[in-house]
Homo-oligomer: A and B are copies of this chain.
Amino acid sequence: MSKLLTDLIEALRCLPGVGGKSAQRMAFHLLERDRERGLKLADALREAMQRIGHCARCRNFSEEPLCALCASSSRDRHLLCVVESPVDLAAIEQATGYRGHYFVLHGRLSPLDGLGPEELGLAQLAQRLGEGQVEELIIATNPTVEGEATAHYLAQLAHAGGVRPTRLAHGVPLGGELEYVDRGTLAHAFGGRQQL
């Protein structure tokens, strides 16, 4: 097989859920029917990988120093929702009517994986809670063992900063990932969040 084609098939396997067989089908499909969009994908990938960084305030993905959500004047500055990942933030934005701000951990406390308070930006979060503007810290980490431990740690941070911590209501299945919860359940859990 052509070297460039073999390279492409191998490279496509960096995508989650894509094995050798589907990588091959993707490569053939693009070559046979969609080279224009294949080139667009190449450009979009390069731009995204090189230019997307993290928002200085919420740590979400952003190509600007401050993301659109943090820069917006129409979001409620009294509410701050902490999530493990940008996927969870996107899920909450899409499923609920939440109009506050976010803070993205990019992980959860996991000493075995080398993820401690520093890696999750918790000093930055503590400083923000100390600014006095946030009234409620909505803790939306996943209901896994590590997610719960992280929630516990975050609740202590909130108390130390004089901020009321709340947790999403039950309804999110135990051991599950927020990302896979259907919108209705997620919206319900979000609306029924409880004080910790």
A32 at the interface (CB under 8 A from B): yes
A97 at the interface (CB under 8 A from B): no
Q: Is the CB of A30 within 8 A of B14?
A: yes
Closest B residue to A62 by CB, please name it: B2
> Complex Cα distance A46/B35, Å?
9
User: By CB atoms of chain B within 10 A, which of A1, A50, A64 has the most?
Assistant: A1
Given the interface pairs A14-B38, A16-B25, A29-B15, the reply to whether A8 lies near B67 with Cβ below 8 Å is: no
Given the interface pairs A14-B38, A14-B40, the reply to whether A52 lies near B4 with Cβ below 8 Å is: yes
Q: Mark out the residues of chain A between 1 and 46 whose CB falls within 8 Å of any chain B CB in the assembled complex.
A: 1-5, 7-8, 10-12, 14-17, 22, 24-32, 34-35, 37-46
Fill in one digit per residue for A45-88: 1 if any B CB lies within 8 Å of its CB, else 0. Answer: 11111111000000001111001100000000000000001110
Q: How many copies of this chain sit in the oligomeric assembly? A: 2
Q: Is the CB of B8 within 8 A of A48?
A: yes
A106 at the interface (CB under 8 A from B): yes
B contact residues around A93 at 8 Å (CB): 1
20 new A-B contacts, CB < 8 A, other than A28-B85, A38-B45, are: A1-B61, A2-B52, A2-B63, A2-B64, A4-B44, A4-B51, A4-B63, A5-B61, A8-B48, A10-B44, A11-B37, A11-B44, A11-B45, A17-B26, A31-B48, A39-B50, A41-B45, A42-B49, A43-B46, A45-B45
Pairs A–B under 8 Å by Cβ, sample size 16? A1-B61, A2-B52, A2-B62, A2-B68, A7-B48, A11-B40, A11-B45, A12-B44, A17-B22, A32-B106, A35-B49, A38-B49, A39-B49, A41-B45, A42-B42, A42-B49
